[in-house]
Amino acid sequence: MSHQSDLIADDIQAYLKQHENKQLLRLLTCGSVDDGKSTLIGRLLHDTKMIYEDHMASLQSDSAKMGTTGEKLDLALLVDGLQAEREQGITIDVAYRYFSTDKRKFIIADTPGHEQYTRNMATGASTAQLAILMIDARHGVLTQTRRHSYIASLLGIRHIVVAVNKMDLVDFSEERFNEIKDDYLAFAAKLGLKDVRFVPISALDGDNVVNKSENTPWFTGQPLMDILETVEVSRDKNLEHFRFPVQYVTRPDLNFRGFCGTIASGVIRPGDNVMALPSRRTSKIKEVVTFDGNLEEAYIDQAVTLTLEDEIDVSRGDMLVKVEDEPEVHNRFNANIVWMTDAPLETGRLYDIKLGPTFTSGTVKTIHHQTDVNTLEQQANPQRLQLNEIGLCELTLNQPIAFDAYQRNHATGSFIVIDRLTNVTIGAGMIEGLADGIESLDPVTTDERERRLAQKPAIIACGGKHAPELALAVERALFDQGKTAVVVSEANTGDADERRNVAQLLTAHGLIAIAENLGSDIANATVSADAEQDIPAAVSGLVQELVRSKRI
């Protein structure tokens, strides 16, 4: 079923053209557990006639089977897709739904309310322009309400709609609605939230969701759908500062060299003076090329190919900006990081960092503070961040990159943290600005080396008739474990005294030294093999024991 089924039946091309030209609004629902987020999305889909007949039949059957809403439709089942969600009656993962009205297209993210799923909510909020914050009229502003508001403000969501749900359970009391409104506004002022609107609703019955309710004659504002259709989000786009991260350099023949990418912000025209960062070489825009022909002007979110008047060195990961409108270019900055994995974030450990198409590595030098997302209290200088925790960190990268503060430009101010061994995304960051002060002149400590290399230094002595082959096999096994080890052999070092000195020097710098025929007096572990066929078993036993006992 569709709100435009007649147009679809008469002229599908006209419908598609009209649909293509509608403005898109990305939004998310958030709030405490069982506040009715999924039910609200189901109500929006139902009342805008965006549910197909077979889905409606399935919904009626599932509602009767689950039995959570009496004889009424359980609209939350339209969104809670995981079996675990349906059985527990909660949302676990971020669920995305797409619908449209005559005026707008919508992508709506249903995010989980539980604290242990903070990372999931941050994922859903990262692209949202508006947040619908659900508050149960019976319970008012709760701890989870504050947590979700903080995350929404941290991720730069400019428009907040507070939907006071389950008003039918408090007899649509104006006094209760105003009490919750005043309580929330006092908290929102601390976060700097400016565009905050309030709507009293009943998601289950549809009051003030799509149509104005007769049960709230005292409410003079717009129903929720009217707000979603009319909220002004075009001004939120950064059309002032041109940023073009280069994703690909195309050269189909000797006469054409173009730089492909999506404009992160701003506007560009042929003839504009631009600078490539970090090289700082300048040129002029020659053409703005697209599949449908050249453009006289391109702006934010358009995918284009730019050609330049001069042959300057520009590669994937570089950024084109307008001259005299430059972002920061540095290898040190402060950023708020949301940690997304069980293994904690540790200062000094090496991680991969991806900002747009730019890929580099770096470390978290300092955690300035960790913010309690429930109380907004800050714990100063923690040593690590645990799963779902948020902290303001100072990062040091291995190379300078171009960036903006996240609040100024979401696209060039956000990055992800990647585990170097598994390539799994383990954190999301929002840049605050340049790091304060200068580099520390303190010597590198043993603890700092251990955290950076993710290992403990050790000397492994290899003996027996096949010591050289054994040492190389141990090096390979440790390398496959993600460890950094160096073989100290008679061939590359010299006599036993020299091997001892080199091995001790390597361990002093955090490395694992694998030394041939060294003796056991200074070794942390020994292994030997008198026959070639003994090497695999000897190596396997050694590595398992070292890992189990946490000696490396």
**Any known ligand binding at 35?**
yes
- CA-CA-CA-CA torsion for 136, 137, 141, 147, nearest 10 degrees? 20
Asked if residues 507 and 457 have their Cβ atoms less than 8 Å apart, the reply is yes
Angle at 15 between CA 14 and CA 16, to 5 degrees: 95
Burial letters 301-335, b for 16+ CB under 10 A, else e: eeebbbbbeeeeebeebbbbbbeeebbbebebbbb
DSSP of 328-391? EEEEEEEEEEEE-SSSPEETT-EEEEEETTEEEEEEEEEEEEEE-TTT--EEES-SEE-TT-EE
Q: What kind and span of H or E run contains 451?
A: helix 446-453
Is position 114 annotated in a ligand binding site? yes
The verdict on whether residue 70 carries a ligand-binding annotation is no
Is 113 marked within a binding site? yes
In the chain the first and final C-alpha atoms are separated, in Å, by 62
Chain-centre distance for alpha carbon 205? 35
- Could you identify the residue written with the tokens 């799994």? 424
3-state class (DSSP) for residue 275: strand
32 is in an annotated binding site: yes
Q: Is 327 annotated to bind ligand?
A: no
| Residue 288 annotated as lining a ligand binding site | no
> Are 115 and 147 a contacting pair, CB within 8 Å?
yes
Q: Binding site annotation covers 465?
A: no
Asked whether residue 168 is marked as a ligand-binding residue, the answer is: yes
Please, are residues 231 and 208 in contact by the beta-carbon 8 Å criterion?
Answer: no
354 marked among binding-site residues:
no
Q: Which of 116, 97, 117 is nearest to 106 (CA)?
A: 97
Tell me the three state secondary structure of residue 242.
coil
Cα-based angle 272, 277, 283 (whole degrees, multiple of 5): 30
Q: From residue 282, how far is each of 84, 297, 309, 494, 521 by CA, in Å?
A: 56, 20, 10, 53, 62
- The number of C-alpha atoms within 13 Å of 146 and in the hemisphere containing its C-beta is 16
Any binding-site annotation on 33? yes
Binding-site residues from annotation for GTP: 31-38, 110-114, 165-168
Q: Binding site, residues?
A: 31-38, 110-114, 165-168
